[in-house]
Amino acid sequence: MQKAKQQSALSVLMDYAGRRRVLTYLSWVLSAVSALIALAPFIFVWLIVREVLSADGNFAAVQGELALYGWWAVGSALISMLIYFAALMCSHVAAFRVASNMRKRTMRHLATLPVGFMSSLGSGRVRRIVNESSGATETYLAHQLPDMAGAFATPVGMLVLLFVFDWRLGLLSLIPTLLGFIIMAKMTGKSMAEKMKEYQNSLERMNNEAVEYVRGVPVVKTFGQTVFSFKRFKGSIDEYHKWVVAYTKSLMWPMVAFTTAVNCVFVPLIIAGLCFTAGGVDSTFLLNLIFYIIFTPIISVTLMRVMFMSENNMIVNDALSRIDSLLSIKPLEVPGSPASPRDNSVRFENVTFAYDGAERNALDGISMDIGAGETVALVGPSGGGKTTAAGLIARFWDTKSGAVQLGGVNVKDIAKEQLNDTVAYVFQDSHLLKTSIFENVRMGRPSATRAEVMAALHDAQCDDILQKFPEGADTVIGAKGVYLSGGEQQRIAIARVMLKNASVLVLDEATAFADPENEAAVQRAFERLKAGRTVIMIAHRLTTVQNADKIYVLKDGKVAEQGTHGELMQKKGLYNEMYEEYRTSISWKVGGAAC
């Protein structure tokens, strides 16, 4: 797929189709045959008109011919429809296989990428690329390519018929057609392709920002913020609105001209009829004129189909380009000879990391030593690099320079499966799937027995959650109005981590949105969870890190201070300043009265 830029869109799609590509080619042939047969009813209608005119009022003499031509017209129309239906059957089978293979290949590739890439691209953007881009190719293969074959076969048959009856009228019929082609070429050229790309980009940004907006609703409720806090979401809507209005206005007059041209094919014919019959009416010419008036509306239909096919071809090219943008992302390096960590210690050796497109490093040469079984806290101002550092342990990203070691082994040299089993991550906003509580927990270790899952739920202080529901652990989250609070979701997520039984635990602001009652339960669960494990805590509530074996204060991607709580308080540095500010903030009550 990385060669998509050198290949045509069709050749790329046929690569995905595999053995089903023959069905695509067959659909073109059938569609072209159907389009040619669809012209036959017009000939039979013309023959019926000829018989009516020649009967001179004696319709009984031509009744047999009229019935015969009528049945031939109906029969050819039905045959055309059946052949077209067969063409669509073939094209749909191939299109479904292409869309399926495209999604499978993309998802398999996504599984090899660093987890952190999702935060940089945005889950809404990735989901839209995978679903809608592959969906665009499905429509293109299933309908538009067969229709395109028919649209090209139709003019061939039309040209033959236009010049068979009266070449003068045939040439006149082509004047509006050529005019329509010129206008269409202006609308669907390179500028149109660029506009289509801008349109898809605008939709992509708006979709991504909408996802982030919905995810941020709990923050709005917690801190009383308004919708105007989500300026990026509102900005993406305003940008989309501005672009669509401007684009529509720019195409208004060209589209009016095109529609007028392709729908007034009969105008030159009427003028020609008046001119050619000025000296007297020729019955043969009149009969031919009637045929052209009946037949030429097909030209406008065909041109409209060709125009929309040109636009859809641009959409498919853009869709393949977006799929390729995912497939071209470099996956995580797989170690040739995987090594196993000796213990649960974690070590950062002069680690530097920068996000793609960032102007400065998120981490700038940091070094940290975390002994096996220790509890270490990462604190500091927002944007200091705490979450980034923790993510490097689980290979959410890979370092630009330096090394992150787990048990004396570079995490890049540990097999992905073993690293995933060794390191567990509890986020501040854990997401649960719409399935039972039991299945959500068992995701931590799919081979676990029911007894082991229930034990993990008990250790994670989830007994009160299960008692609320008649079905207990088998309650489906999100069904029949069953929803959990943020703190309850965290405890379910902790149960999952307990069942996983990883030896290194990363807690990223895990109690940020929990109410006091839930926070107490979460903290009790954490105490059980920490036993015998190496724990890296990211926290803004500094009262939760006082008992940590060591505290690292990160600021601007560097380690500003390190030590125990007591040592850092004695230094009177950044940590002391942060701690005093935090203690002052929690001593206030609403209305300004001190606690």
Q: What is the pLDDT of residues 211-268, one digit of tens each?
A: 666 655 555 554 445 554 466 677 777 777 877 787 777 777 877 877 777 677 777 7
Does residue 512 register a pLDDT over 90? no
CA distance linking residue 595 with residue 580, whole number of Å: 16
Q: What is the C-alpha to C-alpha distance for residues 134 and 415, in angstroms, rounded to an integer?
A: 32
Would you call 333 helix, strand, or coil by DSSP?
Answer: coil
The structure tokens listed for 498 are: 């307990």
CB-CB contact of 506 with 530 (8 Å): no
Residue 593's pLDDT band (cuts 50, 70, 90): very low
Q: What angle do CA 83, 85, 86 make, to 5 degrees?
A: 65
Q: DSSP class of residue 577? A: H
Distance between CA 7 and CA 166 in Å, rounded?
44
Check: CB of residue 460 under 8 Å from CB of residue 494: yes
Average pLDDT over residues 421-428: 82
Predicted confidence at residue 88, as pLDDT, reads 92
Q: Is 408 exposed, middle or buried (0-12, 13-18, 19+ CB in 10 A)?
A: exposed
The least confident of 29-33, 223-227, 309-313, 338-342 is 223-227
Q: CB-based contacts of 309: which residues, under 8 Å, 6+ apart?
A: 144, 147, 148, 151
Tens of pLDDT, residues 276-296: 766 666 666 677 777 777 766
Please, which pLDDT band fits residue 366 given cuts at 50, 70 and 90? very high
Token duo for residue 139: 């429509």
Using alpha carbons, select from 352, 341, 424 the residue that is nearest to residue 389. Answer: 352
Least confident of 9-23, 153-167, 216-230: 216-230
| Mean pLDDT score, 160-188 | 71
Q: Judge whether residue 591 has pLDDT over 50.
A: no
Q: Kindly state the DSSP code that residue 264 receives in the 8-state scheme.
A: -
- Stronger pLDDT, 387 or 271, i.e. the higher one: 387
Whole-angstrom distance, CA of residue 517 vs CA of residue 508: 20
Set out the domains of the chain in order of their start, with CATH numbers: 9-327 (1.20.1560.10), 346-586 (3.40.50.300)
**What is the pLDDT at residue 14?**
85
The phi and psi torsions of 175 (rounded to 5 degrees) equal -60, -55
Q: What confidence category does residue 304 fall into, taking pLDDT thresholds of 50, 70 and 90?
A: low
Structure confidence at residue 328 as a pLDDT band (50, 70, 90): confident
Residue 590: per-residue pLDDT: 43
Q: What confidence score (pLDDT) does residue 349 get?
A: 93
- Top mean-pLDDT range of 135-139, 262-266, 463-467: 463-467
Q: What is the pLDDT of residue 223?
A: 44
Give the Cα separation of 103 and 265 in Å (integer): 45
Q: What is the model's pTM? A: 0.63
Return the percentage of the chain with pLDDT > 70, whole number: 77
Query: What is the distance, to the nearest Å, from the Cα of residue 584 to the centroid of all Cα atoms in its chain?
Result: 45
Q: Provide mean pLDDT across the span 188-214.
A: 67
Q: Which residues are within 8 A (CB) of 110 and not within 5 positions of it... i.e. 6 or more apart?
A: 126, 130, 326
- Position 84 scores a pLDDT of 93
Please give, one letter per residue, the 3-state secondary structure of 464-496: HHHHCCCCHHHCECCCCCCCCCHHHHHHHHHHH
CA 348/CA 367 separation, integer angstroms: 5
Q: Is the confidence at residue 80, as pLDDT, over 70?
A: yes
Residues in the chain: 595
Phi, psi of 121 (to 5 degrees): -85, -35
Under the banding of pLDDT at 50, 70 and 90, the label for residue 451 is very high
Range of lowest pLDDT (129-133, 191-195, 327-331): 191-195
Q: DSSP character for 532?
A: T
Q: Cα(38)–Cα(406) distance, rounded to whole angstroms?
A: 71
pLDDT band at 45 (very low <50, low <70, confident <90, very high): confident
Q: Show the 3-state SS of 91-121.
A: HHHHHHHHHHHHHHHHHHHHCCCCCCHHHHH
**Residue in 565, 563, 497 with CA at minimum distance from that of residue 525:** 497
